[in-house]
Amino acid sequence: MDPRPALNTDPHEVGARLRRMRQARGISLSELARRAGIGKATLSGVENGSRNPTLETLWAITAQLGVPLAAVLDPPADPLQVYGKAAEATLLQVFDEGPVTFELYRLRVRPGITQRSPGHHAGVTEHITVFSGTLCAGPAQRPLTAGPGEFIKWTADSEHIYTTMGEEEVHATLLMRYPLVDGV
Partner DNA sequence: CGCTACCGTTCCGTTTATGGAACGCCTCCG
Partner DNA sequence: CGGAGGCGTTCCATAAACGGAACGGTAGCG
Subset of residues 5 to 34 that bind a second copy, contact rule: CB under 8 A: 5, 7-9, 11, 13-14, 16-17, 19-21, 23-24, 26
Q: CB nearer to DNA: give 37 or 179.
A: 37
Q: Are 114 and 140 in contact (CB under 8 A)?
A: no
Q: Cite the beta strand spans of 118-166 per DSSP E.
A: 125-132, 135-139, 144-146, 151-155, 160-164
Between 96 and 135, how does the x/- string for binding to DNA read (CB under 7 A)?
Answer: ----------------------------------------
Residue 56 contacts DNA per CB under 7 A? yes
Window 19 to 38, contacts with DNA (CB under 7 A): 28-31, 37-38
Residue 2 contacts DNA per CB under 7 A? no
Residue 108 and residue 88: Cα distance in Å, rounded?
Answer: 5
> β-strands 87-97, 125-132: how paired?
unpaired
Q: Among residues 169, 179, 118, 123, which one has the least CA distance to residue 148?
A: 169
Give the footprint of DNA on this chain (CB under 7 A): 28-31, 37-42, 44-48, 51-54, 56-57, 60
